[in-house]
Amino acid sequence: MSIVEKSILKTEVIFSQDKQHRYLLRKEWDKGKKKAMVIMINPSSADELLIDHTTMYVVNNLSKIGFGSVDIVNIFSKINTKIITKGDVEELADETNDTQILKSATKVDNIIIAWGKVGENNKKVKERQEQVIKLLMEYKDKFCTIQDSKGREGFHPLAPQIRHSWKLKKLQLESEKTPEESHN
């Protein structure tokens, strides 16, 4: 006997008028389950029909751990297939981007900081990451990070260690860590 299973993956995308910026990529597959927001660096080629590798890994892993939808947002809204850091921050992310990040934060159960390690050696990215964290401080209790099977954390969804299996860990901000924790 065969079993037929059907589902609908609803997609919503918010672009700038000129389609140079993507502010939101929302995927919903089960309205009754938890909602996540994943914050990364900049949008790539995914839209209402095209699914890039990052979006695929995000949806696959969130569905495995009990989520029913995701709002994918980025610290920089300018669409590019590579991490872009040339140009003014205002060219890479505008006010509409911050408004969308805040709007999504109010609606989700978890905010997953998934920009990886790129800000560690790039001043412009680090400053923007700090701006976004500051913007979202009233939602800091929702902050999580992706952890691998060895307990390491702070991954981007494309990192090989976590592509097929995510564990979310509550994110403790540097400002909240004890001196001993900061040195670990």
Which pTM was predicted?
Answer: 0.90
- pLDDT tens by residue, 81-136: 666 656 665 678 788 999 999 999 999 999 999 999 988 888 888 999 999 999 99
Q: Percent of the chain having pLDDT more than 70? A: 88
Q: What are phi and psi of 12, to 5 degrees?
A: -130, 135
Angle 95-107/123-135 helices, nearest 10 degrees?
50
- pLDDT tens by residue, 10-40: 999 999 999 999 999 999 999 999 999 999 9
pLDDT of residue 80: 84
The average confidence (pLDDT) of the chain is 90
- Where do the structural domains in the chain lie, given as residue ranges? 14-172
Angstrom CA distances, 149 to 58, 90, 164, 165, stand at 17, 38, 11, 8
